[in-house]
Amino acid sequence: MKLRMHTLAVLIKKDFRLMFTNKNMLIMILLPIGFAVLYQTIFGDVKEAGMPRNFVLTLCELLNLSAIPLTGLAMMVAEEKEKNTLRVLMLSDVSALEYIFSKIISVLVLMELITIVIFFITATQLSYLPMFLLVTTVTSISMLLFGSVVGLLSKDQMSTSTLSTPLMILFLIPPMFQNMNEVIDKIASIVPTTRMMAIINDAMNGMSILSQEHLLDFGIILVWILLGVVTFAMMYRRKGFDN
């Protein structure tokens, strides 16, 4: 499959316009930022509340990583299916690789911008920003791949919510409610977002993210990325984009 930089740049510009003209996408963009403002107002004094200092930051970033790549990316693909613009692109010599790369890059850049906004809203120490961006970016790759799979399987925008909800629950709920019961803890132990939180929490307490304790965390995140690649490749061979 072809990957031409000029074509990719044009597609990325188109995707950014698409993201900011889709009302559902705009809601998902504003959701983690809105919750960051709300939670920071309610739980601003985390010391008195007895919560970790990065509680608001990680909670809103979980929402960012769960909603936008899984539902938002899939919704962009589904919208182009509904409007038949996807078929036009496929017939105009745009390769499938160029098409999906443009979606992934566009959504990833959007997520990075939201992450930075959340970071500053929560008044987190600036020195943690490079580490935070690195860990969340690596984790988000698996989410983007599974969001691409949802886009492949979705016939329209309505179906994206149905297909993405189980994945959102898997990536969002176990990290939030771990240590509540044994079943949730077992699920949380193999979820990439839980491992991401463990790395971030330890890093903000002075531990290196490259320490031996975090080899397993990064290993599980990598397994999810590989699982996303394999799942996407299998679904693409079976269905293609314009199904």
62 has a pLDDT exceeding 60? yes
The proportion of the chain whose per-residue pLDDT surpasses 70, expressed as a percent, equals 93
Q: Which residues contact 40 (CB under 8 A, 6 or more apart)?
A: 56, 121, 122, 123
Instruction: Delimit the domains of the chain by residue range.
Output: 5-239
Give per-residue pLDDT as tens, 204-234: 888 888 878 788 999 999 999 999 999 998 9
The mean per-residue pLDDT over the stretch 26-42 comes to 86
48 has a pLDDT exceeding 50: no
The mean pLDDT value of the chain amounts to 85
Highest mean pLDDT among 18-32, 34-48, 129-143: 129-143
Alpha-carbon separation of residue 40 from 44, 68, 74, 158, 196 (angstroms): 5, 21, 30, 32, 21
Average pLDDT over residues 183-189: 87
pLDDT at 56 > cutoff 60 = yes
What is the Cα 63 distance to its own chain's centre?
8
Predicted local confidence at residue 51, as pLDDT: 53
